[in-house]
Amino acid sequence: MQAKTNAVIPLPNVNLTIIGFVAFTFVAYVAIGLSLAVLPVYIHQQLGFSTIVAGIVISLQYVTTFLCRMFAGNIVDKQGPKPAVTLGMASFTVSGILFIVACLFKATPLLSLGVLALTRLVTGVGEGFVGSSPINWALFATSDKHTAKAISFNGIASYGGIAVGAPLGVIISNNIGINAIGVLITTLAFAGFLYARSKTAFKGTSKDARQGFLQVLKKVSPYGICMGLGGLGFGTISTFITLYYIYLKWDGAVLCLSAFSIMFIFGRVVFSKAIDNYGGLRTTIACLSVECIGLLILWFAPVPHLAVIGAGITGLGFSLVFPALGVEAVKLVPASNKGTALSGYSLFIDMSLGLTGPLVGGVASQFGLNYIFPFALAMVLVALTMAVAFWRRATEAAAAMAN
């Protein structure tokens, strides 16, 4: 199908149009979430490897995600988002098949672990190419003035996908078997692939000179680093909450993932106009402050119910960090580089989640699992300090221009 230039979409249909594209993100993150709460336990308890090994294998996904973001951004800017999304859905389909193969070799732990490592790498390819591509697809179909909304909706789709996928993966593993997770991932991803093939292709019309990826990355990196540090709270919860609950002899770890995701979505829906009303930087400062409170509650929670509340508050706090800083980041580049800017900016959440496994796994192995949330809190406090510094610099610059 030939790519079409931007169409003018009537305002009442904008939300539905954006949802139609971020549906790919939802499918992708359901596929990711299905194995998220199951794999650490499977690797640690059934295959017999350490928490560090479990963390490293989980984090391998973000290595290929990191590498593929750059290529996805270039594809989006030159050819439009459809080829990137289609390739991403195909990769998730392959990852589901590999997951099934890995589970079939459970009796040979090292072989099973090796196939799981490959599975995570292919999953990373899928996430890298889907990633921010639906955001660009939605913006090409509507207009750039809906950037904050498209980023927010895409985030709802991603964490909503995890909120659905994580508990569903645990239920399937406990009642049917872990192999069935691979079957479901394959089925969902292939359906997403067919849906992507059926969608109208759009591409940008800007005639601005394009900048190189590294040049764009340099411009967005301060905001990306801040956002990535803020994402360590989510990374710690998503990767290690199951082992943390086992360590404390608690039940219901998956409730923390669900509480985080539900409150994340709640924050994006209820406070959707905060970025437009108060600006990206002030919104970021408020959100990171709330996230710190949530992690503090998780750190000191004496009972699982309080830990769930802490996870929910953490999700509420992190809800607008990505779009708030993202809106500020994409202002720094020409329209012809919006796809590359969003891909480059998104690299930092991949780096954050990728480093969470070995970093927090190392903290857990060296000091104990009860130290993982103090560590995450310290990292989010660094992000909060950076956000305050950005805001002060922007305020001083605005004052200087006014004078």
Q: Which domains does the chain have, with CATH numbers?
A: 12-200+211-402 (1.20.1250.20)
Q: What values do phi and psi take at 123, rounded to 5?
A: -60, -40
Cα separation, 100 vs 395, in Å, equals: 54
Residue 181: per-residue pLDDT: 93
166, 374, 325, 386 alpha-carbon torsion, rounded to 10°: -170
Quick one: pLDDT at residue 166?
Answer: 81
To the nearest whole percent, how much of the chain has pLDDT over 90?
38
- Bridge partners of 238? none
- The reported pLDDT for the residue numbered 1 is 38
Give the model confidence (pLDDT) of 92-137 as tens digits.
999 999 999 999 998 888 998 999 999 999 999 999 899 788 888 8
Between the CA atoms of 287, 233, 69 and 220, what dihedral angle is there, to the nearest 10 degrees? 40
- Which of the 8 DSSP states describes residue 142? S
pLDDT of 7 strictly over 70: no
Note the pTM of the prediction, 2 decimals. Answer: 0.72
Q: Higher pLDDT residue, 8 or 119?
A: 119
Query: What pLDDT is stored for residue 351 in this prediction?
Result: 77
State the sign of the Cα–Cα–Cα–Cα dihedral 62, 63, 69, 75: negative
Q: What is the pLDDT of residues 277-327, one digit of tens each?
A: 898 999 999 999 999 999 999 999 999 999 999 999 999 999 899 889 988
Q: Give the pLDDT band of residue 225 (cuts 50, 70, 90).
A: very high
Q: Does the pLDDT at position 162 exceed 70?
A: yes
- As a whole number of Å, the end-to-end CA separation of the chain is 53
Look up residue 207 and give its two tokens.
């005639």
Per residue in 77-95, pLDDT (tens digit) is 778 889 999 999 999 999 9
Residue 168 token pair: 């569903």
| Per-residue pLDDT at 191 | 96
